Amino acid sequence: GAVVSQHPSRVICKSGTSVKIECRSLDFQATTMFWYRQFPKQSLMLMATSNEGSKATYEQGVEKDKFLINHASLTLSTLTVTSAHPEDSSFYICSARKGVITEAFFGQGTRLTVV
């Protein structure tokens, strides 16, 4: 299967700072990447969908100025949590899709803790 690498796996940051999370497709070009947030013992909540070279499409209720998504190349998407607060602490997972009708492959997730 295809490999999606997410970095870092864990990060602790101070309240008010910004954190960048990277998602890379290692052995394929991802036409579309997705960013999810997962609260403890809950399902994945889609935050946004990004296509290379265009602006991300955010789900309702997700602040686009707080969660900046950049999909600059077919193998890299980044999520920046700006001015992080403790309530932003969560598990963030990215996924990448090769084409329109193919399965999505997931990164290993990033545990963000804001103190």
Interacting span for another protein (CB under 8 A) from 1-9, 13-21, 71-79, 81-89: 1-9
Whichever of 45 and 68 has its CB closer to another protein, that residue is 45
Please report the DSSP string for 1-52 in residue order. Answer: ---EEEE-SEEEE-TT--EEEEEEESSS--SEEEEEEE-TTS-EEEEEEEET
* Using rule CB under 8 A, residue 103 touches another protein: yes
Are the CB atoms for 4 and 107 separated by under 8 Å? yes
Are the CB atoms for 23 and 76 separated by under 8 Å? yes
Segment 12-71, which members bind another protein (CB under 8 A)?
32, 34, 42-44, 46, 49, 51, 57
Residues that bind another protein (CB under 8 A): 1, 4, 6, 32, 34, 42-44, 46, 49, 51, 57, 93, 95, 97, 100-101, 103-109, 111
